[in-house]
Structure 1
């Protein structure tokens, strides 16, 4: 089966700004390099990566103010199809600063604006009016003040339209969507999964069991736990395996998790097995780490790393 389209939803998009300083020191005036702007937010980065990897996608998100206009211009320049819901609050900005003295990256994530009840309804209406997609990827931080029934209505609307729902979120939102159940895939990292459980993960076997329990309860068909430099853990009803991450030069972690998720969903949409899809995801996430600033994974790097992972099984 080839997916008609992968729809992404970003409820708290961002205009990302990347820059560098020679030395990061308190109190001094820090002379920065010329800023590089990019459209950001979980689902938007997923759509950007899918587009780069040759897939079909539409990004759905609220947008407002001059920062929102800038974000739309950047998406148009990249050729990413989108549907923007106009809102009153300005789209937030996020700042990524690389300290050239030690090549460490500092990420300043500003909060998103709340969505009014009318704006929340407009997002749900947009989801219903867009052409049907096979997959809906809900990714990124959520704004404060969402109505208690927003996420149930969101998942209910999507599932009635035949969308398989993929979730990359954390905390109470992840818990609420798992309680609704019927998800295709969740992609927490270790800390996010522990926060959702309300307890630390006590080693690999505990982690495996937590993921197996979520699948066995019908909450999600698959769990992919991002483990950073250690790769990822994939758990389905039939599979429980660790996928190593290739060792590459680390330049930026911005969008690495989004690239992983995008590539995995795209590969699964093309009919690949969960194991193949997870390896393609790890390859894309690793490729994003090789890129500068807010740049995402490139197709040639992703394919090369995927070939290495496939050969090393």
Structure 2
């Protein structure tokens, strides 16, 4: 009997590669798709050659064809870090619009259930705290972050349109800050930026006064939430993240303690429209999916730190993260 097949876009990325692992573990045949604009083959090298995994090097913003039957599609193809979507804004908008449209059409043709990866960034710089799924957000569509925020908001809209008009089986996950092995060390996000600076013996850079907050979810917890949502009957957006909120200043101190660095913290201007608060309300996830995070931040950070320490020196000393300062709008 043939195994059920699942298509995962963004498969060579941080989250996509972990999802490939999970669905292979669950007994599916997995098709990974990625154009490698931000993903890395290193993330899925351990899967190449397996009989239950195949890889398509393809941009989903173009026409998508996959032969044979598909049970599920998980759309995770998108730049997700500020350094990426500020450098490639048009591609970010296209993958959220054209890419989502193409994959919804594929799901319709294959009669497959599709889950799309949205983000807490749909809430923008929120005026409601913590953020619930019925909050519509505070987003600047023409600001520097608008290319990512609006791409994801459009993604949600067209997904719901396919659900209501074509009766397509759809799921929408709103992902909050997630971390773990396979993150890119120099992608501009606060956690890898802090750890990378500590490993290089550089001062830790906080943008803003450090009072802004984030809530970090370990990748294994996130993947579990996504898996449960896919298999659920819920069609409206669901927050998946860890509500354990911490200020950036407090987080910097945690990284200093974890890494044993002697470097100090320095402060620079906050990027325009950067959210001041970020904390998910996960009531729906608890009630509908029976899900909540299990890995505490101390445990998850230790695993992530060991992963970053294992990277070769070339990756450690790449300076891509410093380009982020060029995109600060004062």
Q: TM-score, normalised by structure 2?
A: 0.39
Higher normalized strand content (fraction of residues): 1
Q: TM-score, normalised by structure 1?
A: 0.41
